[in-house]
Amino acid sequence: ILRGSEARPHLKPYMASLQLDGQHVCGGFLIAEQWVLSAAHCTEETDGKLFQVLLGAHSLTEPEPHKRLYQVRAQFPHNGSNVHNNKDDLLLLQLEEKAELNSDVQVLPFQRENRDVAVDTVCEVAGWGTIDHSGKRPDKLQQLQLPVISRDVCNHRTRHDGTITENMMCTDSRRKDTCKGDSGGPLVCDGVAEGVVTAGSRVCGNYKKPAIYTRIAPYAEWIDSVMASADG
Ligand SMILES: NCc1cccc(NC(=O)c2cccc3[nH]c(C(N)=O)cc23)c1
């Protein structure tokens, strides 16, 4: 998160840190007791290894009352996701067991009605992604409020040039923006998860490259079917 601020500790109890060997790789969020939603691109450099999921955290390093690292039973990247574009960039992670819910660990509802969030709606994004252009990583969860911009503006020739589909949405990226390590986190508008951060052009903080999110509503049936099909 570039030019955001430290989140109020444990006020985003749905936030997850997807980790490999104790290192934060991507964001994610709890959509059910045993399920975390993130971005498929997060598995690109994991060499087939399963993530571990940190829940109940504010600081990545300090001991906290309800902080707990969960093993992952299975990971389900959307079949349409691929390394060449941002299409269907969603990843479902089934935890080895149901997360213990408490004041610091809670499920976040996601939007099921497939209708665009109104332009200029101010939504919120959070993550442990890089906080400056040198790639500095924060220890504590950062947050940012960002206005939704129209798909037409986002698709302009000088912006993302027609690559933003109706399954994606954009927020303004002038100065304040998402960045490396924020992928997979939720874009929350009026308390509901509307989108999942995708790396897109990988650029951070450049107003010519608005931040891109995978809209969740178009995938509600996919999410329900994966959760229903997996064991447990
Ligand atoms: N503002 C939009 C936005 C949202 C989320 C993430 C990103 N930027 C990256 O993720 C990124 C950036 C730089 C080098 C990188 N290398 C890799 C990689 N997977 O190798 C990712 C990146 C950008």
pLDDT per residue as tens digits for the range 93-121: 999 999 999 999 999 999 999 999 999 99
- Asked if 88 is an active-site residue, the reply is no
- Asked if 38 is an active-site residue, the reply is no
| Residue to mutate, 131, 204, 212, ligand 1, most ligand atoms under 8 Å from C-beta | 204
Cα(199) to ligand 1 centroid in Å equals 5
pLDDT for res 231: 81
CA distance 206 to 177: 8
Cα(101) to ligand 1 centroid in Å equals 31
User: Among candidates 226, 25, 16, which has minimal Cα distance to 108?
Assistant: 16
pLDDT for res 134: 96
Tokens of 153: 């503006």
Cα(26) to ligand 1 centroid in Å equals 10
> Is residue 232's pLDDT more than 80?
no
Check residue 128 and report its DSSP letter: S
Share of the chain above pLDDT 90, in %: 97
CA distance 140 to 131: 11
Three-state SS at 58: coil
**Ligand 1 binding pocket includes 177 (Cβ within 6 Å):** yes
Tokens of 221: 């049936």
Average pLDDT over residues 80-90: 96
Average pLDDT over residues 180-187: 98
> Is residue 126's pLDDT more than 90?
yes
